[in-house]
Amino acid sequence: MSLLLFIVYLKLRHAAATNKAFQSHISSFRIRFLIKAADGGWGRLFIFEDGRVTSLPGANHACDAALVWSGRKAALNVMLAGGDDAAYRAFMAAARGEMKVEGNVYYIQWFNDGVKLTM
């Protein structure tokens, strides 16, 4: 999971430098977004500030919003899915208690919309 989250960071950082739609999306936000395991075994903080993306490894960071996964299998099942299938899988994971949201739910959607712009 740590490698997958690092790759997500690299894609977001690249998009911040080259993708006009993504640049516009992040330009007016200052958000600290965390994706992590419920047990704290893995995670990554994504920091959006001044139109830039930076990131820190680890699950124990202060954040505005977090996606908290019950384990790797549930997270991979959703994060590696594409398009509408990913949205359905995320909904089902939440319904089964495999994923929960902490903090401002709007930021979860904002992050998801930003990731879609990079694909």
Picking from 18-27, 40-49, 75-84, 108-117, which range would have the lowest pLDDT averaged per residue?
75-84
Are 61 and 45 in contact by the 8 Å Cβ rule? The answer is yes
Whether residue 82 is predicted with pLDDT greater than 80 in this model: the reply is no
Q: Is 118 exposed, middle or buried (0-12, 13-18, 19+ CB in 10 A)?
A: middle
Rounded distance between C-alpha atoms, residue 60 and residue 37, angstroms: 10
Question: Residue 33: what pLDDT?
Answer: 96
Residues facing 100 on adjacent strands:
68
Q: Is the pTM of this model over 0.85?
A: yes
Question: Residue 55: what pLDDT?
Answer: 97
Rounded distance between C-alpha atoms, residue 76 and residue 15, angstroms: 22
| Structural tokens at position 114 | 């930003």
